[in-house]
Amino acid sequence: MPQLSLHSPLGPLTISEDEDHIVALDWGWGRNQAETPLLLRARDMLDRYFDGEAVVFDLPLAPFGTAYRQRVWQALQTVPHGTTTSYQALAARVGGSARAVGGAMGANPIPIIIPCHRVLGARGLGGYSGMGGLDDKRILLTLEGYFDD
């Protein structure tokens, strides 16, 4: 599976491609580095995002997950840059509970591009599955203007 890594404010990240679709974004440096057109495009978009641009990630995605998780991740992609939603509001849109939405967030194989960091809890930030946990979520939300520096 071709992978391409990049440096980011969150540390090294690796994008993975399978059959012309992005299938994962992981923390750390990947070992199967390849500069495919899709991976180069995804890396460029992420670089622009980390430089503070309001990037719309219009990439072909194929995250692996249950039908419910697919619905949640699809709905997440409609939450615009610089805005947030809640676990409860997302659950109202896709069905299920806030807890089930939280489970889908934790299983998101393509974070940042599928922006699970834009989902907040009823009494605070909620959680985040990135390597830096809530620190990573704060960095991403700050990049999008949710927090002032």
What are the residue numbers of the active site? 116
Residue type, 13: L
Class of residue 138 by CB neighbours under 10 A (exposed 0-12, middle 13-18, buried 19+): middle
Decide: 111 and 137 in contact? Cβ < 8 Å: no
Q: Give the sheet arrangement for strand 3-6, strand by strand.
A: 3-6, 13-18, 21-27
CA proximity to 81, closest of 140, 8, 6 = 140
Radius of gyration of the chain (CA): 15
User: d(Cα 95, Cα 57) in Å, to the nearest integer?
Assistant: 25
Residue type, 83: T
